[in-house]
Structure 1
Amino acid sequence: MTIPAGPRSPHLGEVLGRWKLIDRAGRGGFGVVFKAQLTAEPCTVAALKLAREPMDARFEREAKLLDAARSPHLPRLLDKGEWLSPDGQSYPYLVMQWVEGLPLYAVPKVRSFTNASAARALAHVAHALAELHRLEGVHRDVKGDNVLVQADGTAVLVDLGAAWHVGARPLTDTVIPPGTEAYRSPELLRFRRQFRRTPEAHYLSQPADDLYALGVMAYRLVTGRYPGPITDPDTSSAEPPRFLPPGEVATVTVELERLILQMLSEDSGKRGTAVELALALERAAASAGAARLMERPCMRETQKTARPGPRSRHALPAWLAWVGSSALGAALTLAVWTLGTAPRKRERAEEEAPPRADMSDERMTGLADAGVEEIHASTAALPNAGVPTYAIGLPMPKKPLPGQRRPPCGPGLVTLNDGCWAGPIEGERPPCGQGMFDYQDRCYVAVLVPQRQPASEQP
C-alpha cells in the first residue's frame, strides 16, 4: 500500500499533552519525530514521535515494548497520548528519551575508530536486542541508521516502529514483514521466494533475523560495504555464501571477525543468542586494545581502479542540482525531486531480492525500509549550493540560497523571498521531506542555476 502524506502536522510551539514542540528531528513512513520540552520543566527535553496515520496500532506495539524494557541501550518511554488534528482525526504519539548522538555509520567519519569501539557499540546493540527478545519481541529493522552513538560511546537502538511481539495483532497481509532489504536474513528471503505468489503465507520474524541484521550492520560498520550475496535458494548447491571475510577488507581483529561471521551464518541455529553475542562482543572489545579499524590499502587501490567510489549518499546528481533554467528544466527538477522524496511503498510483498554484493549506501536508499528515517539526523549541503538535502522541514529562508535562481523565474515556478521555487509539492505538508522548505503550511523546492561544465578535465 502507499503511505499517505499524513495530517497537517502540529506547528512548532504547539503543545501536545504536557509537551511543547520545539524542533523537528526526523520523518519516515510511519511517524514524524519532534524534539519537545516538558511544559512544567522546560529543561526536560524528549523525542515526541507522532503517527502519520490515524490510530496507528504500531504505536501500541512500540509503547508496550519500550514500557516493559529495562535497558540503557533502548530509549525510555516517558509518555504517550493522542493528537486531535483539525479534521477531527486522532493520531497517537509516543514521548521517549531524547538520545543525542550520531548514527552508527557516521561515527568512523568524525571520531578515531578502533576495533574496541566497534565491538563495544555492537555489544550495546546486542544487549538491546537481548532485552527485546526477553520480552518475546523482535525489532525487525536493525540497521546503522537506527543506532545512535552518544559522546561517551554508548550506543542506543532506536525506532521500534516495525517491531513485533508475541500476542500482537497482525497489521499487514503481506508475505514478509516490513524491514530494510540489505538486512534480510537468508531464511526470510527463501520464504519470500517460495511463497511470493501465496498471499495467505506470512513469515513470522524470529530473534535470529535480528541477529543476522546485526551481522550485516557489523560487517558494514567495519568494512564500509555490505556482505556478498547469500546462497541462491533456487539452486541445489550446498556451497556456503561467498563474500570476503571482513579481515580481508579492513584491519579487523580475529575475534571480532569470528563473531561477525557467526552472526552472518546461513544456519540460523549457529548465530547463537543476543545475550551470548553481547558478552562475546564485550570480550572482543576488551581484548582488542588500541587496534585501529582501517581499510586495507590493497582494497582501496582495487576500488579506485575497478569501481570508483559512489557519490555521497545525501548528495543529488550534478545534472539535477544544476538543471537548466528553462521551464522544462524546472519541471524536471520538480518531478525528479518529488519522486526521490515521496514516501516509499512499504509493507508490500516485494519481488526478487537484489544482490547484496558491494551495495553502496545510495543504492540501498531506494529499497524498502521501515520506521522513522534518520532520527536526530544532521544536515549535509549540496555541492556548491546552500541547499541542505537532508534537512527535515526547514522554514523558508528570508533570502535566496547560494546558487538559487533569481526572478524572473519563468513558467511553472513561483517567486518567494526574491528566489525561484518549485511547488507547492503535491501531497506534502510540513514537516516537509528531505531538501524541502516550509512556507505557509506547504512544501517547496529551491530551483538552482545550472553550472557550466568544463569542456575537459584539469591535467
Structure 2
Amino acid sequence: MTKTAGPRSPLPGEMLGQWKLIDRAGRGSFGVVFRAQLTAEPATVAALKLAREPMDARFEREAKLLDSARSPHLPRLLDKGEWLSPDGQSYPYLVMQWVEGLPLYAWRNSQGLSNASAARALAHVAHALAELHRIRGVHRDVKGDNVLVNSEGQAVLVDLGAAWHVGARPLTDTVIPPGTEVYRSPELLRFRRQFRRTPEAHYISQPADDLYALGVTAYRLVTGTYPGPLTNPDTSSAEPSRFLPPRELATVTPELERLIFRMLSEKSEERGTAAELAQALEQAAINSGAAPLTKRPSMMQTQKTSRPGPRSHLTVPVWLSWVGSSAIAASLALVVWMVATPPQPPKTMELAHAEEEEAQNAGAPEERLTGLADAGVGEVYASTAALPSAGVPTYAIGLPMPTKPFPGQRKPPCRPRSEVEIHGACWVRLDIKPPCGNEGFEWGTLCVVAAFDGPKSNTSEHP
C-alpha cells in the first residue's frame, strides 16, 4: 500500500531545503500546501506544495510547465526539491509564488460584480490558458476553485496538478484524464461513452477542453448556477443541447453572453483559441462600461435551470438557488465572508446515458474509469498582496465557529449520523480532522460546514 504524507508530514518550523515552514495553508487530492519563508530572505514568503504520495510524477510535470510558462496569471515556480520522511520515503515538493485572493465564485459573492470586472477576470484566465497552450500544455481542471482573484481584480489560474503536456508519459490507466465532471467537454464525454469498455483507449486532452471548462466557469460566474439544457433532446438527435441563455438569469451584456456561448459550443473548432478569447474578453470588458451584473430573481428557480420538462410547484428560495446548497464561511479578524457550493450541476445527455449504462452493467471493470478520484484538487497559492479589509490571508487553519446560524440554515432535528447540532442549527460532519484549513469550521475534534435544505452539491469537486 502506498504511504502518503499524512500523520507525519512536516510540521511548522521544519526546514525543507532552504525553506522554513510557517503554517499549513490547505490540501488537495495530490498535495498539501504550506506557507513558507526563505531562510536567507525571511521577507520572501511562498507557497510550498508537498506531494501526498512518494515520488509523485505529477510534480515533475507541473514543475516543467510552470518553469516554462511566462504569464502574470500563472504562479511563478521558485524552487523544487524532495523531502525525506522519517520512514525513508521521498516526497517531491514545489515552491511557488504566494497568490492571495478569493476563489472566483467566492469573489463574485463578496462584492458587487459588473460585466466589466467579470469579463476582465475571465480574460486573465484565458491569458493563462493561452500561455499553457503555447508551451503545448493543457490544464485539464479549469474551474472557479482553481482561479484566485485579488483585491484589484487580478485573476491567477492555479493548481496544475492535473495538467499535461505533449510528450509527458501517462500516469493513469483510465480512459479519460483527471478532471471535474461538470466542466468536461462534450467531445470528452462522447469519447468516454464510445470507449468506456475499451481499456486500451485513452482520451488525449486538447486546448479546446480547457476552453469549454472556461465557458462553464464563465456561465457559473455570471449566473450563479451551472448551464443546463433547455430541452431533453433524443440522444440520437444531431441537435446539440441548448443552454438557458445567461441573460434570463442575470443582467449579462450581449457581447459577454455571445462569448460564453462561444466557449460552450458543442463543436470544438468554434471555440477558437485561448488567445483569441482573451482578446475578445478584454474588449468586452472595455465595451461593458459600468453595466452592473445582477441576478434576475424571477428566473432563479432551481427546477428551471436544472430540470427539463414540466415543473412542479416546489420553488427554492431565491437566495438559496443563487448561493447553493451548503456553505463554508470564514470569520478572520474583522473579515467575514461566506463561500457556498452551488446546486447539483445538471447532467449532459452523454453523462446521463453513461450513468444509465453503469446501472445496467454494475460491476464491470471500466466503471471506475471516470477520473473523479482526481477531481476537486483546489490547492492554495497566495501572494503578498493584501485583501481589502484587513490584509488577512484568505485561507487559514482552524476557522472559528460562528456564534449563530446562517440565514436559511437547517434547524434541528439534525440527521443523526451525518450532522451535529451546534448553536441551535445543523452542521454537516466532514471526513477530515482538524486542522480544517479552508475545508470548514473547527468544532472540537470535528470539521463541519453549514447544512441547508435544497439540491445536493456535486461531491466530486469544490466549485
The answer to whether the superposition gives a TM-score over 0.5 is: yes
Letter of the 2:33 counterpart:
V
For each residue in 1:36-92, what CA deviation from the matched residue of structure 2 results, as whole angstroms up to 9, or x when unmatched?
Answer: 111111111000000000000000010000000000000000000000111110000
1:23-42 Cα distance to aligned partner (Å, 9 max, x none): 21110110000111111111
Cα–Cα, structure 1 residues 57 and 205, in superposed 2: closer, same or farther, change >3 Å?
same
Partners of 1:175 and 1:202 within 8 A in 2: yes
TM-score (norm 2): 0.72
Distance, in Å, in 1 between the alignment partners of 2:437 and 2:111 is 31
Alpha carbons 1:71, 1:131 under 8 Å: kept? yes
Deviation by residue 1:203-253 (Cα, 9 ceiling, x = unmatched): 100000000000000000000000014998982202121221111111000
Any idea what the Cα deviations from partners look like across 1:112-166, whole Å, max 9, x if unmatched?
A: 2100000000000000000000000000000000000011111000000000000
In structure 2, C-alpha distance between the alignment counterparts of 1:139 and 1:447, rounded to whole Å = 31
Displacement, 1:5? 6.6
Report what 1:324 is aligned to. Answer: none
Q: Which of the numbers 361, 372, 381 marks the counterpart of 2:377?
A: 372
Q: What residue is the counterpart of 2:297 in the other structure?
A: 297
2:315 aligns with one of 306, 329, 348? 306
Distance 1:244 1:3 in 2: 46
User: Alignment length, in residue pairs?
Assistant: 369
1:59 lines up with 2:30 in the alignment: no
Amino acid paired to 2:79: D
Separation (CA, whole Å) in 2 of partners of 1:39 and 1:103: 29
For 1:390-438, what per-residue CA distance to the aligned partner results, in whole angstroms no more than 9, with x for missing partners? Answer: xxxxxxxxxxxx9599xxxxxxxxxxxxxxxx99x8x979788944869
Aligned to 1:181: 181
Give runs of aligned pairs for residues 114-133 of structure 1, distance below 5 A.
114-133=114-133
Asked if structure 1 preserves the Cα contact closer than 8 Å seen for 2:434 and 2:447, the reply is: no
2:31 matched residue in structure 1:
31
Distance 1:276 1:226, change over 3 A: same
2:245 corresponds to? 245
Whole-Å separation in 2 of the counterparts to 1:176 and 1:372:
17
Alignment of 1:127-142 (within 5 A): 127-142=127-142
Any idea what SS the aligned residue of 2:237 has?
A: coil
State the Cα deviation string for residues 334-363 of structure 1 (Å, max 9, x = none). Answer: xxxxxxxxxxxxxxxx996679xxxxxxxx
Q: Is the CA contact 1:46–1:96 (under 8 Å) kept in the aligned structure 2?
A: yes
Which SS does the other structure have where 2:326 is aligned?
coil
Structure 2 gap segments, 5+ residues each: 304-312, 330-350, 357-370, 382-393, 406-420, 450-463
Distance, in Å, in 2 between the alignment partners of 1:428 and 1:297 is 38
3-state DSSP of counterpart to 2:36: strand
Which residue does the alignment assign to 1:262? 262
Pair 1:280–1:435, CA change in 2 (3 A): closer
Across the aligned residues of Structure 1 and Structure 2, the Cα RMSD in angstroms comes to 3.6
Partner of 2:346: none
SS of residue in 1 equivalent to 2:20: strand
What secondary structure is seen at the aligned counterpart in 2 of 1:285? Answer: helix
Distance 1:211 1:229, change over 3 A: same
- Letter aligned with residue 42 of structure 1: P
Contact 2:50 2:94 in 1 (8 A): yes
Matched, 1:445 2:446: yes
Change in Cα spacing, 1:160 to 1:7, as seen in structure 2 (3 Å) is farther
Contact 1:36 1:46 in 2 (8 A): yes
Query: For residue 205 of structure 2, what is the aligned residue in structure 1?
Result: 205
Name the CA shift for 1:433/1:297 in 2 (closer, same or farther; >3 Å): closer
State the alpha-carbon separation in 2 of the partners of residues 2 and 219 from structure 1: 39
Q: What pairs with 1:85-234 in structure 2 (closer than 5 Å)?
A: 85-229=85-229
Distance in 1 between the 2:68 and 2:238 partners? 42
- Secondary structure, counterpart of 1:314 in structure 2: strand
Q: Tell me how far apart the structure 2 counterparts of residues 371 and 167 of structure 1 sit (CA, whole Å).
A: 25
**For each residue in 1:366-387, what CA deviation from the matched residue of structure 2 results, as whole angstroms up to 9, or x when unmatched?**
965536325265476666569x
Kept in 2, the 8 Å contact 1:161–1:371? The answer is: no
What is the SS of the residue equivalent to 1:373? coil
Question: How many angstroms apart in 1 are the aligned matches of 2:372 and 2:230?
Answer: 18
Distance between the aligned counterparts of 1:131 and 1:75, measured in 2? 12
Q: How far does the alpha carbon of each residue in 1:8-35 deviate from its partner, in whole angstroms, 9 at most, with x for none?
A: 2101111111111112111011000011
Determine if contact 1:5/1:428 at 8 Å carries over to the other structure.
Answer: no
Give 1:109 deviation, angstroms. Answer: 1.7
Given the superposition, is the C-alpha separation of residues 31 and 429 from structure 1 closer, same or farther in structure 2, using an over 3 Å criterion? farther
CA gap of 1:88–1:351, structure 2 versus 1, over 3 A, is farther
List runs of 5+ in structure 1 lacking aligned partners. Answer: 317-349, 356-365, 387-401, 406-421, 449-459
d(CA) in 1 for partners of 2:441, 2:302: 38
The 2-side partners of 1:381 and 1:4 are apart by: 28
The one-letter code matched in structure 2 to 1:290 is A
Task: Classify the secondary structure of the residue corresponding to 1:8.
Answer: coil
Check 1:16–1:181 CA distance in 2 against 1; reply closer, same or farther (3 A cut).
same
Structure 1 residues 208 and 163: CA distance shift in structure 2, 3 A: same
For residue 61 of structure 1, give the secondary structure of its aligned residue in structure 2.
helix
Q: In the alignment, is the contact (CA less than 8 A) between 1:100 and 1:148 conserved in 2?
A: yes
- The answer to whether the 8 Å contact 2:34/2:47 transfers is yes
- The one-letter code sitting in structure 2 at the alignment partner of 1:114 is S
In the alignment, which residue of structure 1 is the partner of 2:341?
none
Return the TM-score normalized by structure 1.
0.72
Q: CA 1:276–1:378 in structure 2 vs 1: closer, same or farther (change >3 Å)? A: same
Contact 2:25 2:33 in 1 (8 A): yes
CA deviation after TM superposition for structure 1 residue 199, in Å: 1.1
Closer, same or farther: CA 231–298 of 1 in aligned 2, 3 Å: closer
Q: Compared with structure 1, are the counterparts of its residues 370 and 228 closer, same or farther at alpha carbon in structure 2 (3 Å cutoff)? A: same
Contact 2:328 2:439 (C-alpha < 8 Å) held by counterparts: no
Q: Measured at CA, do residues 284 and 382 of structure 1 come closer, stay the same or move farther in structure 2, by a change above 3 Å?
A: same
Does the CA contact (< 8 Å) of 2:26 and 2:437 recur in 1? no
Tell me the amino acid that sits aligned with residue 54 of structure 1.
P
Equivalent position amino acid for 2:62 in 1: E
8 Å CA contact retained: 2:229, 2:244: no
Contact 2:4 2:54 survives alignment (8 Å): no
Shift of 1:6: 3.8
C-alpha separation in 2, matches of 1:206 and 1:230: 27
